[in-house]
Homo-oligomer: A and B are copies of this chain.
Amino acid sequence: MTDTVEIPGTRILSFIERIEQIDEELKALNEGKKDIFSEAKGEGFDVKVLREILRLRKQDQDERDEQESLLDIYLRAIQTAETVQAKAA
């Protein structure tokens, strides 16, 4: 009789706990990242530069999907604009 009330509760709890499980794993991974950066820093590497490299490589990756990034388009556009300005000067 009361199944229609009870069961959803366990179902909800199941979703909640699955999410919480994932959140814990996310947290652990993020701490792992921190540790790696700390380790690199401890060996004298510049963490900010490492982050920059990661960003660049990620961009390259994204571009392979989209053929051409917005950044490229914008850069080419202002390149053209600057050239025009230079000639006019």
Contact = CB atoms under 8 A, between A and B. Distances in A.
Given A19-B36, A26-B29, A68-B4, A12 B52 contact: no
A87 interface: no
Given A13-B81, A16-B57, A36-B18, A7 B49 contact: no
User: What number of copies of this chain does the assembly contain?
Assistant: 4
Nearest to A30: B26
A interface: dominant SS = helix
A57 B40 CA distance: 27
Given A15-B45, A53-B71, A57-B16, A77 B7 contact: yes
11 contacts: A2-B68, A8-B77, A9-B77, A12-B45, A16-B78, A19-B36, A22-B36, A29-B29, A45-B74, A46-B70, A49-B70
